[in-house]
Amino acid sequence: MHGLMMNMPLNISSLIRHADRYHGDTEIVSRLVEGGIHRYTYHDAHRRSRQLANALGALGVKPTDRIGTLAWNGHRHFEIYYASSGSGAVCHTINPRLFPEQVVYIVNHADDRCVFFDLTFLPLVEKLAPHCPGVKNWVVMTDKAHMPESSLPLMCYEDLVNAHSDDYEWPDIDENAASSLCYTSGTTGNPKGVLYSHRSTILHAYGACMPDALNLSARDVVLPVVPMFHVNAWGLPYSAPLVGAKLVFPGAQLDGASLTALFDTEKVTCSAGVPTIWLGLLQHMEANGLRFGSLNRTVIGGSACPPAMIRTFEDRYGVQVLHAWGMTEMSPLGTVNTFKNRHLVWPKEQRDALQNKQGRVIFGVDLKIVDDDGKELPRDGKAFGDLLVRGPWICREYFKGEGGNPLRDGWFPTGDVATLDEDGIMQITDRSKDVIKSGGEWISSIDLENAAVAHPSVAEAAVVGVFHPKWDERPLLLVVKKPGAELTREEMLKFFEGRVAKWWIPDDVVFVDSLPHTATGKLLKTKIRDDFKNHKLPGA
């Protein structure tokens, strides 16, 4: 016997329709690439998304065609999200920080029909275009006054939108149909496409809003620093309209001064980004003696958030840190660090230690850890093993079957090594490729990096395993000092005493001016390992 409830497909267009109808006067504010601030409402965004949907139709875009974007966080990018997915096409956000050859590969692999791009990326597009014959239209996301000179036949976004009426009915789409596409920024091999569906996107958007997740509401002002090309800005362009939160898009200016200015003028309550972004912002705050006004929480994820950063946000600035974990293949949210009642009465030190973990699993995601033979390990907070996930917003196969079947007995292997406890609180020990294997035991590079950045002179740290004739590998620490700070190798190594097990203490320290990052802001461990593979450890 079937239930007798309406069978309405979960469609992305319903988010913008809802936001228009019930939060129509709520603002969307964008810092423009052309300069200045753009301000309009959900009502306007819905109208222009419908105009753009008509424009896509006029360009000959058909359901399931891929629409590429090379763009910062802004209102036009938001409109493309809704016009493309809402009309049945697939919104394909491309990470412009990848090497041009990788972008060419991605555009061609995805068969992008049109590519929309911000002015910033014209030089990149001019390089790509000759190698991407399948792209029929290159559209500059700007107005006529700012259209650039180019040898390419470029279209102007505003002209395109303005040439079409807003008389458009969003079609009913099979909820399992593809809605958007995002390539993983793999550190080896070609990027692989994760193809989200309308259903997975809506369920994830619901999950993300929950009180023990990002706790979003109509009273929030959300500023996603995380780019819309990095797992759809962690779903915020969907979750914000779902609850009617005001959105603030920072455009291309992600430096501390530009962000704090927006936080203040727009009364931002909630933000989200990777640790490297917050590093710059906190340095700016400290150097200028600034405080956060309305910001009450910030989501930090994408790579391990150093405990020192959590403490600075919470203890110095009174901003709650929601330490979160996920991945492109998970839309991305898997865990968010929020406390249960019984944690609230713990002594501060114990609560702080708990908060350093990647967080508690949210409904919709199932987690387990397994040993090398695939045997499930206990949820005791101590055993650690390969972390596997499953759920309705987790990838079951990559676009075009790339890489074969990724699943293990129906579970997606994350490539992370973690512990899990009976509350579902997960802690990443390391990426399985990054753990340091010393004399048959494992050393967590994340734990060592976290310990190092707790030193007041350290801005950023990376730890990699380096060959050792006796132990196979031993940890090497690379340190970027804070501007003007003094620190010696001996002082640094001494700092680890009592903070980590003695045999974990790195064998050597190298001071560097900067560390390499991936296109999504993670430490580029492959490059660091490569650069230091011949480093001779003292005593080795």
* Angle subtended at Cα 232 by Cα 230 and Cα 234, rounded to the nearest 5 degrees: 85
**325 binds ligand AMP per the rule CB under 6 A:** yes
DSSP string, 403-451: TS---BTTBEEEEEEEEE-TT-EEEEEEETTT-EEETTEEE-HHHHHHH
Q: Which of 69, 184, 335, 520 is catalytic?
A: 184
Q: Which of 267, 400, 433, 437 is catalytic?
A: 437
| Touching ligand AMP, residues 211-240 (CB under 6 A) | 231
Angle between the N-to-C axes of helices 256-266 and 275-288, in degrees from 0 to 180, rounded to the nearest 10: 80
Burial class (CB in 10 A: 0-12, 13-18, 19+), 123: exposed
Cβ atoms of 298 and 271 closer than 8 Å: yes
Cβ atoms of 403 and 397 closer than 8 Å: no
Contact region with ligand AMP (CB under 6 A), list: 102-110, 113-121, 376-384, 411-419: 411-419
The only residue of 428, 461, 480, 528 in contact with ligand AMP, by rule CB under 6 A: 428
Closer to ligand AMP by CB, 23 or 92: give it.
92
Closer to ligand AMP by CB, 59 or 524: give it.
524
The only residue of 307, 332, 385, 465 in contact with ligand AMP, by rule CB under 6 A: 332
Contact region with ligand AMP (CB under 6 A), list: 71-79, 408-416, 488-496, 501-509: 408-416
Closer to ligand AMP by CB, 23 or 431: give it.
431
**304 binds ligand AMP per the rule CB under 6 A:** yes
In angstroms, rounded to a whole number, what is the distance separating the alpha carbons of residues 98 and 67?
A: 18
Contact region with ligand AMP (CB under 6 A), list: 45-53, 219-227, 281-289, 317-325: 317-325
**414 binds ligand AMP per the rule CB under 6 A:** yes
Sign of CA dihedral 277, 282, 285, 288: negative
Contact region with ligand AMP (CB under 6 A), list: 65-73, 144-152, 208-216, 301-309: 301-309
Closest CA to 216 of 258, 238, 189, 245: 245
What burial letters (b/e) apply to 460-494, b meaning 16+ CB within 10 Å? bbbbbbbbbeebebbbbbbbbbeeeeebeeeebbe
Closer to ligand AMP by CB, 128 or 231: give it.
231
The long-range contacts involving 215-220, CB below 8 angstroms and separated by at least 24 positions, are 215/297, 216/240, 216/242, 216/243, 216/245, 216/270, 217/243, 217/245, 218/23, 218/26, 218/243, 218/244, 218/245, 219/245, 219/269, 220/245, 220/246, 220/269, 220/270
Closer to ligand AMP by CB, 49 or 303: give it.
303
Closest CA to 76 of 107, 121, 108, 112: 121
Closer to ligand AMP by CB, 51 or 184: give it.
184
**95 binds ligand AMP per the rule CB under 6 A:** no
Closer to ligand AMP by CB, 155 or 524: give it.
524
Phi, psi of 205 (to 5 degrees): -65, -40
**394 binds ligand AMP per the rule CB under 6 A:** no
Closer to ligand AMP by CB, 156 or 519: give it.
519
Q: Which of 27, 126, 397, 442 is catalytic?
A: 442
- Strand 441-443 to 384-390 pairing: unpaired
CB of residue 358 to ligand AMP, shortest distance in Å: 5
**112 binds ligand AMP per the rule CB under 6 A:** no
- As beta bridge partners, residue 178 has 197
DSSP string, 476-533: EEEEEEPTT----HHHHHHHTBTTB-GGGS-SEEEE-S---B-TTS-B-HHHHHHHTT
- As beta bridge partners, residue 428 has 418
**358 binds ligand AMP per the rule CB under 6 A:** yes
Site string for ligand AMP, 138-177 (x = CB under 6 A): ----------------------------------------
Considering CB under 6 A, how many residues would be counted as binding ligand AMP? 21
* Angle subtended at Cα 232 by Cα 17 and Cα 93, rounded to the nearest 5 degrees: 105
CB of residue 330 to ligand AMP, shortest distance in Å: 8
CB of residue 302 to ligand AMP, shortest distance in Å: 5
- As beta bridge partners, residue 370 has 376, 386
| Touching ligand AMP, residues 507-536 (CB under 6 A) | 520
Cβ atoms of 411 and 434 closer than 8 Å: no
**301 binds ligand AMP per the rule CB under 6 A:** yes
Closer to ligand AMP by CB, 197 or 444: give it.
444
Closer to ligand AMP by CB, 70 or 154: give it.
70
**302 binds ligand AMP per the rule CB under 6 A:** yes
437 classed as catalytic: yes
- Cβ contacts of residue 97 below 8 Å, gap of 6+? 519, 520
Contact region with ligand AMP (CB under 6 A), list: 127-135, 296-304, 367-375, 493-501: 296-304
The only residue of 142, 232, 328, 419 in contact with ligand AMP, by rule CB under 6 A: 328
**184 binds ligand AMP per the rule CB under 6 A:** yes
CB of residue 227 to ligand AMP, shortest distance in Å: 11
Residues engaged in binding ligand AMP (CB under 6 A): 184-185, 231, 301-305, 323-325, 327-328, 332, 358, 414-416, 428, 431, 520
Active site residues: 184, 329, 437, 442
